């Protein structure tokens, strides 16, 4: 079942460069952007050529490889100190996704280990680490798919998802969409609903495209229709991803997730969050401490560059919201499942041996 409904890879290292599937062009055009320097990688993250917390972290790791190669060629003696500027630029690209900082820390650990061998080309060991981060993410996604499937099999039926959490948002297979892939392949899911996800329309442009590429039927709905769908007992589970999870189990995810959690709670629909353990930030006690990225008003006031709002209107455009742990039925990670997360349960998840 491992390769069932799983053909898409949005991040590819090929011929000494990073290639990213430009998600801004989907579904109308499939085009990979070839990046050969760290500045282009940071810009691609900011511009949402690549998006999704795990994918951002993986992309940044490959960005460090490009940065180290360039710095080493510029100066054999000082590459490990000058590369710190590149690490800071990558870290500043998207502030909410904790996977970005986790991946950069792993890469920085390799940089530090190489510091005593200044005349040694750092490209190869850093590339090995970036590729390990990439491979570990895919493996974690398959594990989450298996664990999530166990929950789905106990109550099979239709599911609703929000934003994009699949191969486009990760190294491959996906978090919430990985669970959905596993559930569909096993017959535990008979219908997938997807919110359109304003203002970037990741649901309609990306999730629908990705599922259809892998022969999984999908039904789109306007974000505002989700509560009404849940009222009609059409959905057994709402399944979403996460960009950051705090010590008590609060979850930052794409704006609109909190709405879904409230509606699911009211209508007694189970609410699942699927995310790798690297998304958990135990340094933050709860969701009130999560930095929420505010994006340009034009994203709300226009669609595909075409203005849709009355002239003179302004917009409030947070990219994420925070869902309290009290609204979450199950948090699925590659390390295990946390039912109804609490601070104690989250700590146990990360300290137990697996």
Contact 324, 290 (CB under 8 A): no
Contact 45, 59 (CB under 8 A): yes
Cα separation, 180 vs 137, whole angstroms: 17
**Whose structure tokens read 């075409």?**
306
Contact 230, 160 (CB under 8 A): yes
Looking from the CA of 38 toward its CB, the CA atoms found within 13 Å total 24
Cα separation, 102 vs 85, whole angstroms: 17
Contact 246, 98 (CB under 8 A): no
Q: Largest Cα–Cα distance of the chain, in whole Å?
A: 66
Say if residue 199 is preceded by a cis peptide, omega within 30 of 0.
yes
Q: Give the active site residue among 22, 214, 243, 281.
A: 243
77 is catalytic: no
**Whose structure tokens read 């994006």?**
295
Strands of the chain (E only): list them.
11-14, 17-21, 32-35, 157-161, 189-195, 219-221, 237-240, 244-246, 251-254, 270-274, 280-281, 302-303, 306-307, 320-323, 330-333, 336-339
List, as one string, the DSSP characters of 127-145: HHHHHHHHHHHHHHHHHHH
Tokens of 308: 């849709």
Distances (CA, A) of 203 to 167, 169, 238, 282: 13, 12, 14, 29
**Whose structure tokens read 């990439």?**
134
Cα separation, 299 vs 90, whole angstroms: 23
Task: State the catalytic residues.
Answer: 243
């Amino acid at each position: 079942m491992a390769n069932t409904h799983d053909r898409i890879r949005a991040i590819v290292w090929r011929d000494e460069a990073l290639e990213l599937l430009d998600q801004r062009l989907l579904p109308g055009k499939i085009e990979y952007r070839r990046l050969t320097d760290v500045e282009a990688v940071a810009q691609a993250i900011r511009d949402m050529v690549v998006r999704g917390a795990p994918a951002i972290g993986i992309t940044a790791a490959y960005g460090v490889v490009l940065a180290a190669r360039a710095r080493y060629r510029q100066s054999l003696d000082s590459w490990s100190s000058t590369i710190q500027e590149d690490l800071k630029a990558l870290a500043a690209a998207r502030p909410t996704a904790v996977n970005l900082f986790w991946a950069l820390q792993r890469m920085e650990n390799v940089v530090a280990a190489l510091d005593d061998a200044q005349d040694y080309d750092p490209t190869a060991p850093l590339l090995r680490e970036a590729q390990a981060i990439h491979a570990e993410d895919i493996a974690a996604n398959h594990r989450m798919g298996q664990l999530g499937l166990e929950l789905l099999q106990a109550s099979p039926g239709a599911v609703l998802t929000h934003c994009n959490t699949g191969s486009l948002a990760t190294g491959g297979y996906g978090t919430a969409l990985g669970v959905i892939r596993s559930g569909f392949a096993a017959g535990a899911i008979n219908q997938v609903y997807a919110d359109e996800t304003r203002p970037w329309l990741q649901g309609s442009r990306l999730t629908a495209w990705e599922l259809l590429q892998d022969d999984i039927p999908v039904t789109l709905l306007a974000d505002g229709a989700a509560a009404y769908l849940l009222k009609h007992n059409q959905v057994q589970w709402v399944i979403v991803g996460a960009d950051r999870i705090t010590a008590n189990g609060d979850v930052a995810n794409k704006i609109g997730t909190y709405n879904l959690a409230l509606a699911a709670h009211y209508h007694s629909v189970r609410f699942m969050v699927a995310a790798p353990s690297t998304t958990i930030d135990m340094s933050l006690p709860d969701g009130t401490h999560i930095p929420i990225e505010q994006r340009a008003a034009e994203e709300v006031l226009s669609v595909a560059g075409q203005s849709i709002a009355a002239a003179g209107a302004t917009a409030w455009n947070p990219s994420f919201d925070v869902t309290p742990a009290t609204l979450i039925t199950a948090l699925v990670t590659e390390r295990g499942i946390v039912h109804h997360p609490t601070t104690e349960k989250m700590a146990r998840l990360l300290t137990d041996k697996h």
